């Protein structure tokens, strides 16, 4: 896999999660409305808390971009991929079961799809050693 493509992936995931996390933290109601999701007003403080988690995943991805840019040891970025994949998998699984149980709106499947796609990309990349073989 080309290093430039891996770097673009890291920047895209890092910026999207960081920005989403900041918006969920600062303006949870407006952010959910932009996502097409309705939430009761009493849930918004918890959504802000979730924003802090989303921001932390985004910052980890941005750190991965920094590692790729600096051509750090592949094992360091692989650790970032493994840990963020765990977090994303947990989110995707939770959202899938919550939507299936009728606890959350189907719009949440967009988040599950994004996180699940990232898990697949990172899992395949780790298995195929994309980061070690980046050119």
pLDDT tens readout for residues 6-21: 999 999 999 999 999 9
**3-class state of residue 98 by DSSP:** helix
Q: What is the pLDDT of residues 51-100, one digit of tens each?
A: 999 999 999 999 999 999 999 999 999 999 999 999 999 999 999 999 99
The domain of 37 spans 3-127
Q: With respect to residue 29, please indicate whether it lies within any of the assigned structural domains.
A: yes
Q: With respect to residue 43, please indicate whether it lies within any of the assigned structural domains.
A: yes
The pair of structure tokens assigned to 31 is 């952010």
What's the pTM value of the predicted model, to 2 decimals? 0.92
Q: With respect to residue 133, please indicate whether it lies within any of the assigned structural domains.
A: no
| Burial track 89-107 (b if 16+ CB lie within 10 A, e otherwise) | bebbeebbeebeeeebeee
Q: With respect to residue 105, please indicate whether it lies within any of the assigned structural domains.
A: yes
d(CA 94, CA 90): 6
Q: With respect to residue 122, please indicate whether it lies within any of the assigned structural domains.
A: yes
Q: With respect to residue 22, please indicate whether it lies within any of the assigned structural domains.
A: yes
Q: With respect to residue 67, please indicate whether it lies within any of the assigned structural domains.
A: yes
> What's the number of domains the chain is made of?
1
Q: Over 80: is that where the pLDDT of 48 sits?
A: yes
């Amino acid at each position: 896999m080309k290093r430039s493509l891996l770097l673009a992936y890291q920047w895209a995931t890092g910026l999207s999660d960081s920005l989403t996390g900041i918006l969920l933290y600062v303006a949870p109601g407006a952010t959910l409305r932009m996502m097409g999701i309705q939430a009761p007003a009493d849930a918004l403080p918890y959504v802000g808390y979730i924003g802090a988690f989303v921001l932390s995943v985004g910052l980890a991805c941005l750190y991965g971009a920094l590692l790729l840019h600096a051509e750090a040891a592949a094992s360091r970025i692989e650790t970032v991929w493994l840990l963020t994949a765990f977090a994303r998998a947990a989110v995707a699984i939770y959202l899938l079961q919550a939507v299936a149980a009728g606890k959350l709106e189907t719009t949440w499947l967009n988040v599950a799809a994004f996180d699940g796609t990232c898990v697949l990309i990172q899992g395949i990349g780790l298995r195929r050693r994309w980061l070690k073989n980046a050119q």
